[in-house]
Structure 1
Amino acid sequence: MKKWAYMATAIVASLSLVACSANSNETNKNNKAKVETKAEVKNEVGKMVETSNNLQIKVTGVKTGFGQSTDKKDMLQVTFSVKNTAKESSGAGAADFQVKADDGKTYKVYGLEAKNFGTEIKSGQTITGTGYYEIPAETKSVTLYYKPLEQKMAQWQLKVPSK
């Protein structure tokens, strides 16, 4: 009789350990999935957007590093390709874009950077250029907005490369 009691106790203990282990594994999988989802940030480099003012804008690159200005500030450097699809000339420049960092603050183009692009674009012409934006060093992602005359026309989610 004692033999059966020991075997029954052993079986119940084994089953309860397996059940606890299965629940623990499910919980760990669910928690891991939630963490991975939060950490995953879109990177829309290469995404082309056609705006209502007849420009096709594509973010072609994002990097961090020092700007070309004499004060040598560390910057987010965004490279653009802009095509004018209108019948008449149009203008575009780095000042038409704003960056909202993951700290919730919005940053405009760094005005002292001489290499910021900005030019008139003839009908059918495509230009490339770089915009320089000073953001906090710990920034991991940004939302880039095309906002000429403070009118939002396009946006991109971008990962900030580590330095």
Structure 2
Amino acid sequence: MKKISLLITILLLVMSGCTQKKERENENSIKLVEEESVVIDGLEIQFSEVKTTDIVTQKDDERILYTFPVTGKNLSSVSKGLGAADFKLVAMDGKTYEIDHSFVIFGDSVAPGERIEGELNFSLEGKTLPEKLTYQPTDKVVKTWKIKKK
């Protein structure tokens, strides 16, 4: 009887933990306001649905990983470069974040008519909310996408 009670208690704890995780993911879900593609200097840039994931670390700090799947197509007649380092994330507090280098980073020269795909991964403290994503292949911001909660 004790074993059955213990098993039921463990199952309830596990199920309640899953529910909390799901609510948290919904709480942090975001999307880009402008979802259509845009052409910048001969590169067509398009984003897919943004993913949010809790990051578990050895430390007790809460972090959220914001992943922006991006595709670039070279519409020009010469090779163009596109990579994760060309993008920055600006938070509601005004702080600018670069991609998180502990995750896969993409970037390469794209031949005319060819595509490049990858993900932009930004790791923010749990309470920090993203406001906009910027494209700045040089020191100047060329394009800004506003971000809103789903």
Aligned position for 2:48: 60
- Greater share of strand: 2
Q: 2-side partners of 1:111 and 1:91: how far apart? A: 19
C-alpha contact 1:64 1:160 (8 A) present in aligned 2: no
The number of residue pairs the alignment matches comes to 115
Question: SS in structure 2 opposite 1:148?
Answer: coil
Tell whether 2:143 aligns with 1:150. Answer: no
Aligned position for 2:10: none
Larger Rg: 1
Structure 1 position 66, deviation (Å): 5.7
Q: 2-side partners of 1:153 and 1:96: how far apart? A: 10
- Greater share of helix: 1
Unpaired stretches in structure 1, ≥5 consecutive residues: 1-40, 68-72
Aligned position for 1:135: 124
Structure 1 position 127, deviation (Å): 2.1
Amino acid at match of 1:44: V
Runs of 4+ in structure 1 off by over 6 angstroms are: none
Tell whether 2:82 aligns with 1:92. Answer: yes
Change (3 A) 1:122 1:95: same
Identical residues among aligned pairs (%)? 29
Change (3 A) 1:107 1:135: same
Amino acid at match of 1:146: Y
C-alpha contact 1:84 1:125 (8 A) present in aligned 2: yes
Structure 1 position 138, deviation (Å): 2.1
**TM-score relative to the length of structure 1:** 0.61
Structure 1 position 42, deviation (Å): 7.6
Q: State the Cα RMSD in Å.
A: 2.5
Aligned position for 2:70: 80
C-alpha contact 1:84 1:126 (8 A) present in aligned 2: yes
Question: SS in structure 2 opposite 1:135?
Answer: strand
Aligned position for 1:107: 97
**TM-score relative to the length of structure 2:** 0.66
C-alpha contact 1:143 1:157 (8 A) present in aligned 2: yes
